[in-house]
Amino acid sequence: MGALIIFGVISVTWGVVGLILTVVPTVWVAFVQKTMNNPGQRFWLTQGMLLMGLVLIIGTAPFQGFWLWVGCGVIMVLKACLLLGSSVAFRDRLTTLATSWPMWVYRVSGIVILGLAVLLAADIILYA
């Protein structure tokens, strides 16, 4: 039951992020800029990414598509470690790069994240 709740929270989080990226990507761009400039918010965001990534790596072994979830978890952990350990100049360049893409890139990535959220929810339902 606990795994259902934890993976459900991850799936809902991905769904909300994907929906925001698809519908109003400018809100996401503003959030990223604000979060990367505030050390406290950046710390808690990266800690959340680390926790979700580790949960995906460790807890998805019995799932049907565990290789996909382990891959997503590894990417989340690496991204969080990169954001935690990077210099200010590197973070500024990364933020500038990530917020200067055309809007269709954000929308496509939002659709992909929504797809991952639905797949994770389906995998949870099949496992439970």
Domain enclosing residue 28, as ranges: 2-127
Total of domains in the chain: 1
pLDDT per residue over 73-124, tens digit each?
Answer: 999 999 999 999 989 999 999 889 988 999 999 999 999 999 999 999 999 8
- Its sign, for the CA torsion 16, 22, 27, 31, is positive
In angstroms, rounded to a whole number, what is the distance separating the alpha carbons of residues 84 and 36? Answer: 11
**pTM attached to this predicted model:** 0.88
Question: What's the N-to-C CA distance of the chain in angstroms?
Answer: 8
Q: Is the dihedral of CA 105, 89, 43, 34 positive or negative?
A: negative
Say which residue the tokens 């580790």 belong to: 54
Average pLDDT in the 11-19 region? 95
Rounded-to-integer distance, Cα 93 and Cα 29, Å:
14
| Helical (H) or strand (E) element with 36 | helix 25-37
Residues 31-79 pLDDT 10s: 999 999 899 999 999 999 999 999 999 988 888 888 999 999 999 999 9
